Amino acid sequence: MISRLKRNLRLLFGRELHLFGRAVALLPRLARRPGKRQRKEPLGPRTSRRRLSRRALGASVSLLLHAGVGFALYLLWVPRPEPAVTSRAEPITIRLVRQFPIQRVKERKEPETPPPKEEVPRPAAEPVPDTEAPALAIEEDVPEALAGAPLEAPPVERLPRFEAPPLGLGTAPPQLPARGGARRQGLGSRLEGKSEALARYGGGAETEGAVERGLRWLAAHQDRDGGWSAADFSRHCRHVVACRGEGLPEFDVGVSALALLAFLGAGHRPDPGAHAGPSLPTTTQGSEHNPYRRNVQKAVEYLLSHQDGSGGFGVMGDNYLYNHALAAFAMSEAYALTAARRFRESVEAATAFSRMAQQNGGGWDYTSRETGRNDLSITGWQVMSLRSAVQAGVFVPPELLDRTRDFLDRAVTRDGTGLYANLGTEAGRKGINMVAVGLLARLYLGAPLRDSRVRKAAQRLLDRPPDWAATSHWERTFQSYYYWYTATLALFHLGGKEWTAWNFFLLRTLPTLQSRKAHEEGSWPPEPSWIGLSGGRVYATATAVLTLETYYRYEPLSKKRRS
């Protein structure tokens, strides 16, 4: 056993043992005195023991040296574990938690809260809670709470005041020509009388501030060709955080028309001098503040460039008629505000195309092909477009409007419910959004204000006020900007208690959704539904601005018919 160990040690450390052995053997020689000769000892057992001890000492030194090298390598290569406590704050936090449990802290704070009986009673003019809001009835008087401070129009002292009445598109022409002949002059600017209309119908500085911020955002994201990109508008967000909320590129013509309508609704007209046709009076042009004239001019040219020889707007596709109806709507208002001959020709061609695309049932479908499908949503936009054309003085065939009335009589039930379509996967679908569209379209086509279907539809709208949280469940609630826009127009035209109540809910919801951060400031976020994914942030912002322009964009039908 010993001989084997000795042999292994020689193999491993033979050379080191030999060197260290010789070094140890030299130590006595170095310790001798100089000049004194040491006597050579004879060989024997004593000498053998000395040699063995010297070799053992050399082996020990070698082992210690190798062990030291190995330990040093271990310290360098093997990572050391992190200490359990890395800072002084951690153990202090642990001790605090152990000394003061969360339950004890809560128990100590609860006695400090004053009991409910000691609270100051609410004033009588406090708004009605959300749970009580839908209890409004058309036949009853508006409660005192709704008639109090929250429903008063915001102060309008900062807005310029005019004595002239509001010039909405629905009332500005004193008398329309019998057969749709062209007027010699446009409607003038909507900026006149805006302050008076805001104070009269419930708007104010708050709503106008939101409108101005929205228009500023739209102007900053307009493309060079004058249109707006539903999917790629964020390319204008250079050197800042990009705005989010992309839509689909197939709706570029439609969202561009909505954006143009937002500028026109605020009173910003295209330059009438750039078109063939009579111009407006010099006094009107000189008194008008129009910082977005160039944006409006480019937007009009963009729509004209996307109108084909048949009169239709946009690229043929699955949603062709949506784009067409919105673009024709915008061009009708542009013509009404300028009386430019080019615009009139465009509206006349668009009206002829709408007549050709009307389905046999009296409504319109996504496409101009004959499908037999009548879509109430698309028909609602077509009715808005045709009414604007009539109000602007463009001739619309009476039979076209008669067929549309017949369709609406079938699509809107006796209780005011609107049926989305007669064919397709969603045939017969009912929703509060279709109630608003059906009500607005019937009012525009002459339905009596006291008609039972009109009153029932209005009551149903009041039962479903604007609710942003409900837009996440569109398939159940049908809440969207489109619903808020059409319901706002419909109830505004009805006026009275219905409009006062709806305007209260609208002002509580829509302005608060406007973004105030970075480059998104002034825009509205798209709905978390397929509608928001289709139109995107441009559609959402333009529709919200149009909704807040209702106070002066039109004069109520209720006032016009009473007079």
Considering the entire predicted model, what is its pTM? 0.68
Secondary structure of 328-371 as H, E, C letters = HHHHHHHHHHHCCHHHHHHHHHHHHHHHHHCCCCCCECCCCCCC
Q: What is the pLDDT at residue 405?
A: 96
Give residue-wise pLDDT tens across range 348-388. 999 999 999 999 999 999 999 999 999 999 999 999 999 99
pLDDT given for residue 139 in this prediction: 37
Residue pLDDT, tens place only, 96-132:
333 333 333 334 344 444 444 444 444 444 443 443 4
Distances, alpha carbon 182 to alpha carbons 186, 275, 390, in Å: 10, 15, 11
What pLDDT, on a 0 to 100 scale, did the predictor assign at position 425? 78
* Residue ranges, the chain, pLDDT below 50: 81-188, 274-287
State the pLDDT at residue 195: 86
Residue with tokens 């049908």: 478
At 47 the pLDDT is: 57
Angle between helices 252-265 and 530-548 (to 10 degrees): 20
Within 10 angstroms of residue 284's Cβ, the number of other Cβ atoms is 18
Q: What is d(CA 27, CA 23) in angstroms, rounded to the nearest whole number? A: 7
CA angle 91, 95, 98 (to 5 degrees): 140
Report the interhelical angle of 45-77 vs 2-30 (nearest 10°).
Answer: 100
Q: Is 429 exposed, middle or buried (0-12, 13-18, 19+ CB in 10 A)?
A: middle
Topology of the domain covering 208-281+289-562:
Glycosyltransferase (1.50.10)
CA–CA separation, 474 vs 472, rounded Å? 6
* Beta bridge partner(s), residue 313: 307
Q: What's the length of the chain?
A: 563
**Token output for 238:** 């250079």
| CA-wise closest residue to 171 among 563, 560, 562 | 560
**pLDDT the model gives residue 440:** 97
Report how far Cα 442 is from the mean position of its chain's Cα atoms: 30
pLDDT score at 136: 37
Query: At residue 344, what is the residue type?
Result: R
Output the pLDDT for position 237.
Answer: 87
Confidence (pLDDT) at 519? 84
